[in-house]
């Protein structure tokens, strides 16, 4: 065989008879995931924030690389990792998130300014700048910039939902002037979205206190003594009939020991009663996260929702 830089289409396939071999057909559309780690999308006050980017790839749809554009573009899901608004382990859930990427979505996992560095709504502003970054770099990461969604779990579900409410494109917080951070839909996994309930966080001894996760993200405020701050952080309190928010899909376990299931129930009810599209799925017996949220039947629901709104 000649030694040269072969193109795939011209390379001769092996077709000799081999005793005992089993031949399997392939289509070229079998999907894998290309991982690009730690891509900086912003640096504010000397604090760098990065993305973990997952891109679908297959033999027939080659991922982009220097000097070569992608042969196919995909919708993009910007994913906000839960962490109680503290330092995020953006790597821990990548194996599960890759299951969504393998279904044909570029997924960018956001690292945002955690409590102690940022104060609400800084995490939301970071998520929106991550959306803008992915739009600006759409060609580099095989993205169709018209098909964008935001998703998150736990505190990330709170941040993702708020990212669909906080419309700050025309403010100094937009690091990419002229680029929109609006999305076509939102997926909220067991979001910590309500701080008006006494048992909103059943496992947090100092719930709403200044040293609680929710108190710290508000700058060390005692939310028990500050109703305005408590309602500012609570998503449902900031939704009315005039609110511009994309369709929302909410999933929550019925035995969530960290974030009360009622947080999602009341958010869903508020969205519906104010005329917004919301779909609530309650996973019987599921705790705060876990494999149930990444099982095929669950991802089928998420994918159907994304396809409906992203095309």
Token pair of 87 as six digits? 């330092």
Instruction: Name 249's bridge partners.
Output: 187, 279
Do β-strands 248-253 and 143-153 pair in parallel, antiparallel, or remain unpaired? unpaired
Q: What is the pLDDT of residue 50?
A: 98
Residue 67: count of CB within 10 angstroms of its CB:
5
**Residue bearing tokens 């969530």:** 256
Q: What is the pLDDT of residue 2?
A: 82
What are the angstrom distances between the C-alpha of 216 and each of 45, 54, 159, 230?
20, 31, 15, 12
Provide the 3-class DSSP secondary structure of residue 207: coil
Class (C level, CATH) for 8-310: alpha beta
| pLDDT tens sequence across 34-87 | 999 999 999 999 999 999 999 999 999 877 777 777 789 999 999 999 999 999
Contact 74, 56 (CB under 8 A): yes
What are the sequence ranges of the domains in the chain? 8-310
Q: What is the pLDDT of residue 155?
A: 98
Cis peptide bond N-terminal to 268, omega within 30? no
Contact 190, 180 (CB under 8 A): no
Contact 186, 246 (CB under 8 A): yes
Classify each residue of 152-189 as buried b or exposed e, where b means 16 or more C-beta atoms within 10 Å of its C-beta: bbbbbbbbbbbbbbbeebeeebbbbeebebbbbbbbbb
Provide the 3-class DSSP secondary structure of residue 182: coil
Do β-strands 106-110 and 47-57 pair in parallel, antiparallel, or remain unpaired? antiparallel
What pTM did the predictor assign? 0.95
- Give 26's DSSP letter: -
Q: What is the pLDDT of residue 67?
A: 72
Cα three-residue angle 62-54-171, rounded to 5 degrees: 115
In angstroms, rounded to a whole number, what is the distance separating the alpha carbons of residues 268 and 262?
Answer: 10
Contact 143, 125 (CB under 8 A): no
| pLDDT tens sequence across 259-277 | 999 999 999 999 999 999 9
Contact 124, 52 (CB under 8 A): no
| pLDDT tens sequence across 288-299 | 999 999 999 999
Beta strand spans in 118-259 (E): 143-153, 185-189, 248-253
In angstroms, rounded to a whole number, what is the distance separating the alpha carbons of residues 223 and 40?
Answer: 33
Q: Which helix (H) or strand (E) holds 74?
A: strand 74-80
Token pair of 307 as six digits? 């396809």
| pLDDT tens sequence across 172-212 | 999 999 999 999 999 999 999 999 999 999 988 899 999 99
| pLDDT tens sequence across 221-259 | 999 999 999 999 999 999 999 999 999 999 999 999 999
Q: 18: exposed, middle or buried (C-beta count within 10 Å: 0-12, 13-18, 19+)?
A: exposed
């Amino acid at each position: 065989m000649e030694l040269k830089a072969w193109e795939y289409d011209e390379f001769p396939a092996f077709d000799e008879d081999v005793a005992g071999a089993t031949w399997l057909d392939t289509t070229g559309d079998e999907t894998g995931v290309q991982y690009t780690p730690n891509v900086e999308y912003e640096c504010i006050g000397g604090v760098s924030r990065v993305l973990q980017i997952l891109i679908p790839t297959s033999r027939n749809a080659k991922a982009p690389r220097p000097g070569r554009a992608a042969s196919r573009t995909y919708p993009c899901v910007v994913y906000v990792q839960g962490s109680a608004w503290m330092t995020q382990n953006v790597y821990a859930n990548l194996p599960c998130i890759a299951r969504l990427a393998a279904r044909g979505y570029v997924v960018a996992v956001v690292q945002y300014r955690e409590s102690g560095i940022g104060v609400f709504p800084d995490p939301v502003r970071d998520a929106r700048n991550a959306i803008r970054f992915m739009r600006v770099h759409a060609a580099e990461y095989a993205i169709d910039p018209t098909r964008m969604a935001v998703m998150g779990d736990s505190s990330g579900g709170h941040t993702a939902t708020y990212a669909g409410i906080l419309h700050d494109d025309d403010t100094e917080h937009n690091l990419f002037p002229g680029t929109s951070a609006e999305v076509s839909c939102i997926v909220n996994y067991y979001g910590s979205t309500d701080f008006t309930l006494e048992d909103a966080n059943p496992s947090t001894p100092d719930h709403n206190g200044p040293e609680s996760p929710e108190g710290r993200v508000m700058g060390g405020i005692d939310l028990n003594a500050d109703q305005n701050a408590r309602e500012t952080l609570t998503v449902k309190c900031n939704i009315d009939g005039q609110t511009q928010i994309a369709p929302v899909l909410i999933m929550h376990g019925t035995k969530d020991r960290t974030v009360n299931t009622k947080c999602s129930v009341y958010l869903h009810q508020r969205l519906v009663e104010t005329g917004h599209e919301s779909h609530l799925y309650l996973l019987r017996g599921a705790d705060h996260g876990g494999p149930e949220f990444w099982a095929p039947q669950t991802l089928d629901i998420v994918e159907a929702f994304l396809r409906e709104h992203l095309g």
